[in-house]
């Protein structure tokens, strides 16, 4: 039986389908529940249609992808969700897939979920990997109190100011601060952190989580200044605790 949520007499169902967070684990990291469900869905809202088709092909080699309808997010402005509205109003089952990991977490999928609730549709989250939580688990930092901030400012002095603000908030609340960066700027962000944060502040950097090149570093700023690891240009999660 699938889990259900919400009130009775609903419209369709929106399934939140996690995808692998590392390209080389497309088959092995997916639960039987997700694989079984994805084999039957004919409508999807996706962050990237090409990625979604590649993942579905890895899960089901005999799937007829041409028969599946996909609504892709508009990356340059508001997405027209009229098709999603029609699908749910017609009582259809719809899948929501992000580029990697759990839908609606660190991606724009929350808008689609909000619309489903507005239409009184079922919203069913399925179990899958989240790089944010996996990084927190592996960090050794405070997992009882934490905050995720997405991307930090790119330019100075806004970036260093934000880092110091997060460090101060972490100190006041014993709160782990979590953020991400575009992979080609990983090294620059780490250098900024080592320059502007206090020596006793603890850092963790988790790269390519669950992938073939996974590496997780954790230590104080003082220790990192003595021996700074060379970061790759893989997807990375940064964490700090003052």
Domain CATH for 54: 3.40.1010.10
Q: What is the pTM of this model?
A: 0.85
The sign of the torsion formed by the CA atoms of 38, 39, 43, 49 equals positive
User: Domain boundary residue among 125, 145, 164?
Assistant: 125
Same domain flag for 156 and 175: yes
Domain assignment of residue 5, yes or no: no
Same domain flag for 57 and 141: no
Same domain flag for 116 and 136: no
Same domain flag for 120 and 53: yes
In degrees and rounded to multiples of 5, residue 101 shows phi and psi of 85, -150
The domain spanning residue 135 has which CATH number? 3.30.950.10
Alpha carbons 168 and 64: distance in angstroms, whole number: 53
Alpha carbons 149 and 237: distance in angstroms, whole number: 11
In which band, very low, low, confident or very high, does the pLDDT at 4 lie, cut at 50, 70 and 90? very low
Q: Taking 60 as the threshold, does the pLDDT of residue 54 lie above it?
A: yes
In which band, very low, low, confident or very high, does the pLDDT at 27 lie, cut at 50, 70 and 90? low
Strand order in the sheet with 93-97: 69-72, 43-46, 93-97, 13-16, 122-125
pLDDT at 144: 96
Q: How many domains does the chain have?
A: 2
In which band, very low, low, confident or very high, does the pLDDT at 152 lie, cut at 50, 70 and 90? very high
pLDDT at 3: 40
In which band, very low, low, confident or very high, does the pLDDT at 10 lie, cut at 50, 70 and 90? low
More confident residue, 189 or 10: 189
pLDDT at 28: 56
Same domain flag for 20 and 108: yes
Same domain flag for 222 and 142: yes
In which band, very low, low, confident or very high, does the pLDDT at 1 lie, cut at 50, 70 and 90? very low
Which parts of the chain are beta strand (E)?
A: 13-16, 43-46, 69-72, 93-97, 122-125, 146-151, 176-180, 202-207, 215-220, 236-241
Mean pLDDT of the chain: 89
Alpha carbons 23 and 202: distance in angstroms, whole number: 30
In degrees and rounded to multiples of 5, residue 27 shows phi and psi of -95, -45
pLDDT at 175: 98
Same domain flag for 61 and 116: yes
pLDDT digits (tens, 9 = 90+) for 99-141: 888 888 887 789 999 999 999 999 999 988 889 999 999 999 9
């Amino acid at each position: 039986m699938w889990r259900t949520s919400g009130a009775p007499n609903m419209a369709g169902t929106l399934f939140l389908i996690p995808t692998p967070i590392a390209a080389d684990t497309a088959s092995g990291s997916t639960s039987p529940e997700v694989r079984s469900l994805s084999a039957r869905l004919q409508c999807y809202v996706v962050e990237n249609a090409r990625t979604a088709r590649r993942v579905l092909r890895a899960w089901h080699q005999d799937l007829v992808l041409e028969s599946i309808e996909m609504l892709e997010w508009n990356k340059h402005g508001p997405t027209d969700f009229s098709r999603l509205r029609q699908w749910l109003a017609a009582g259809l089952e719809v899948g929501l897939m992000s580029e990697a990991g759990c839908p609606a977490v660190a991606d724009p999928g929350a808008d689609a979920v909000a619309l489903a609730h507005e239409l009184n549709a079922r919203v069913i989250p399925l179990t899958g990997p989240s790089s944010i939580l996996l990084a927190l688990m592996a960090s050794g930092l405070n997992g009882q109190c934490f905050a995720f901030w997405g991307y930090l400012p790119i330019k100075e002095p806004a970036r260093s100011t934000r880092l110091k603000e997060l460090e101060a908030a972490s100190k006041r609340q014993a709160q782990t601060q979590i953020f991400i960066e575009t992979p080609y700027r990983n090294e620059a962000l780490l250098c900024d952190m080592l320059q502007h944060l206090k020596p006793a502040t603890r850092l963790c950097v988790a790269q390519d989580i669950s992938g073939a090149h996974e590496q997780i570093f954790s230590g104080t700023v003082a220790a990192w200044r003595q021996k700074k690891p060379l970061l790759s240009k893989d997807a990375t999660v940064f964490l700090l605790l003052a």
